[in-house]
Amino acid sequence: MNRGVWIFSWILIIIGLIIYFSWALMYDAWTDVGLYSITVTMLTFGVLGVILAKVEKKE
């Protein structure tokens, strides 16, 4: 398992969720398209990074 990718991916997931909830609570914008675009991008790369970190490299 690639530990650096795994840690960075979880950081992306956590930051994406923090951005979504903090922005939505501060501005009461739960259905903002711009907010979705940032959050979904960060969550997607985070989840894919976690999956990628779990893949064993065969040589």
pLDDT digits (tens, 9 = 90+) for 2-53: 899 999 999 999 999 999 999 999 999 999 999 999 999 999 999 999 999 9
Whether the per-residue pLDDT at 56 is higher than 80: the answer is: no
Q: How many domains does the chain have?
A: 1
- Residue 59 in domain: no
Higher-pLDDT residue of 17, 59: 17
Is the confidence at residue 59, as pLDDT, over 80?
A: no
Extract the tokens encoding 27.
Answer: 């501005």
37 inside domain: yes
* pTM assigned to the model: 0.88
Both tokens assigned to 21: 């909830």
Domain assignment of residue 46, given as a range: 3-54
Residue 33 lies in a domain: yes
Handedness of CA 11, 12, 18, 19 (dihedral sign): positive
Question: Is residue 21 included in any domain, yes or no?
Answer: yes
